Homo-oligomer: A and B are copies of this chain.
């Protein structure tokens, strides 16, 4: 079976950099994979895509060594099982609040007797290769998002959930959780302190810890801080950011205003 070298890297204290996929294009998925990220996460929660999009995008990522992760939209066992069957090697589960929910997520990622995953790795067996049934419980990464007030209160018990491979911070929802406005990259001292607390707690319990960013600046900050998995940016954010910036610069540098629509013919 193909090993999950990202999960292994975490065990060896190597840091990983990932990307995010929010749009439903197989071509974009392959392009992101060929960029050289250690892992890519197809986002079924806030991303504009659904299961059958994911199904067709995972093979495109499999043209490379980039590890394919999927964020499921909810801690729903069947959704976790379906993306694993399609070949995801990691599952990011949003809004995990407590130990019971973390255990539920882990159970959906593991075949019995370790969990309750139903057997049928229809594409995963092809991608993973011989031995998938035997080793999948070890290789699939189960990652719980820490982003709610309840999760902050239960952080120790979540971090010590058997079989949980990593926790992952969602900064926008985390801002809500500590009474701030939603914002991604966040330098509010309270936010920074909370992130530091989560990081320290993960380190204390020996579980990998990841951080979601929206910029190079914050990615560097969190890599420097020691995070095991840092998310640099999403497909559509890269696209939108550069397109917007260059269009503004082109117009400004050349004095080319946007042309205005005229009146309709009557």
Contacts and interface: CB of A to CB of B under 8 A. Distances in A.
Interface residues of A, number: 118
Interface in A158-191: 170, 172-173, 175-177, 179, 181-182
B45 A118 contact: yes
Interface string A238-266: 11111110110111011011111111111
A26 interface: yes
A214 B159 CA distance: 41
Query: In the complex this chain forms, how many copies of it are found?
Result: 6
Interface in A133-148: 133-135, 147
A259 B35 contact: no
A35 B15 CA distance: 35
A95 interface: yes
Contacts of A38: 258-259
A261 B122 contact: no
Contact of A240 (B35, B133, B260): B35
B52 A27 contact: no
Contacts of A2: 261, 264
Contacts of A223: 250, 253-254, 256
Given A6-B259, A38-B259, A224 B181 contact: no
Given A35-B244, A73-B78, A95-B118, 19 more contacts: A5-B261, A14-B257, A14-B259, A15-B256, A26-B59, A27-B122, A32-B239, A46-B118, A46-B120, A50-B51, A59-B63, A112-B177, A118-B173, A119-B182, A131-B265, A216-B246, A216-B250, A220-B249, A220-B253
Q: Which 5 A-B pairs have the closest CB atoms?
A: A46-B120, A74-B78, A112-B176, A223-B254, A119-B172
